[in-house]
Amino acid sequence: MIKLKWFGGVAGWLLPAALIAAWAVAVQNSWLSSQILPAPIDIVRSAINLAASGELTANIAASAVRAGWGLLIGGGIGFLLGLLNGLSKTAERLLDTTVQMIRNVPHLALIPLVIIWFGIGEAGKVFLVTLGVFFPVYANTYHGIKTSDPQLIEMGRVYGLNRWQLFSQIIFPGALPSILVGLRYALGLMWLTLIVAETIATSSGIGYMAMNAREFMKTDVVVLAILIYALLGKLADAGVHFLEWRVLQWHPGFKRR
């Protein structure tokens, strides 16, 4: 059992480790030109160099700030609007059609317009991320509220709960699993949007770092940027996992192992 547990913790990393090893061997034996894919060790070296010069942290910080603001604004609006439309029939009738219509426009198609509106500053990038994360959070919050169990609500009424208690003790906890699914999708879209937005015209951020390196054919930095996106994505996912583990302990599907 103990052996199995240990294996479970490492199992997810076996495949990536094997791929990196194969890649190192392939570059070493010149099966792959280092122009196309530099050796893993070169990437580590350039990571160390960039980190030493402070460039790496500055770029990661710039990206993280954009991602954070976009998530906060877009997720916040999506969450509140999802609650509003889920709870109020009037609001739903007024707003849902509009939201669904906007949803069908791919937000990255707005990039030209965003450049005209916001120029190439921070606002445009945050705006794109905001749009990207808004819909998954909105749709899943709305769905979670809408599918709350009418039997439990009826029980709550019989047991004398007021409207706020009905919401905070029955409707919201019931919607939480769905809201967290929305957050997870949102985090994926957040990075995706940021990658595209940062390649437009920027002077900081991981996307900028990659575009800049491409001009000088520094493939190792380009690959490093991609790897950082992968790690940040994984980190965000782990964050939601932790959140689910914390708040959904009651749920048989998220039981503490």
Partner 1 sequence: MATQAISKNSSNLALKLEQVGKKFGDLAVLEDLNLDIEPGTFVAIVGRSGCGKSTLLRLISGLDQPDTGAVYYDGQVHRRLNGGARVMFQEARLLPWKKVLDNVCLGLCKQRKDRALAALQHVGLEAKADEWPSVLSGGQRQRVALARALVHEPRLLLLDEPLGALDALTRIEMQRLIEKIWLETGFTALLVTHDIAEAVALADRVILLDGGKIDLDVAIDLPRPRHRDHPRAIELEEAILQRVLNKPE
DSSP state at residue 149: -
Q: Name which of residues 168 to 227 contact partner 1 (CB under 8 A).
A: 169-170, 173-174, 176
DSSP 3-state percent helix, strand, coil across the chain (nearest 5) = 85, 0, 15
Counts of helices then strands in the chain (DSSP H, E): 11, 0
CB of 184 to partner 1, least distance (A): 19
CB of 245 to partner 1, least distance (A): 14
What whole-number distance in Å separates Cα of residue 123 and Cα of residue 65?
12
What whole-number distance in Å separates Cα of residue 157 and Cα of residue 165?
10
Report the residue number, 9 or 160, with the smaller CB distance to partner 1: 160
Query: What mask of x and - would describe binding to partner 1 in positions 223 to 252, judged by CB under 8 A?
Result: --------------------------xxxx
Report the residue number, 147 or 169, with the smaller CB distance to partner 1: 169
Could you report how far apart the first and last alpha carbons of the chain are, in Å? Answer: 13
Report the residue number, 31 or 159, with the smaller CB distance to partner 1: 159
Q: How many residues bind partner 1 (CB under 8 A)?
A: 20
| Radius of gyration from C-alpha coordinates of the chain | 23
CB of 92 to partner 1, least distance (A): 25
CB of 101 to partner 1, least distance (A): 35
Report the residue number, 71 or 171, with the smaller CB distance to partner 1: 171
What whole-number distance in Å separates Cα of residue 257 and Cα of residue 250?
13
CB of 183 to partner 1, least distance (A): 18
b/e code 220-249 from CB counts within 10 Å (16+ = b): bbbbbbeebbeebeeebeeebeeebeeebe
What would the two tokens of residue 79 be? 């969450």
Report the residue number, 76 or 174, with the smaller CB distance to partner 1: 174
Q: Name which of residues 114 to 173 contact partner 1 (CB under 8 A).
A: 151-152, 154-161, 165, 169-170, 173
Largest Cα span, the chain: 75
Report the residue number, 157 or 241, with the smaller CB distance to partner 1: 157
Report the residue number, 76 or 156, with the smaller CB distance to partner 1: 156
Q: Which residues of this protein are in contact with partner 1, per CB under 8 A? A: 151-152, 154-161, 165, 169-170, 173-174, 176, 249-252
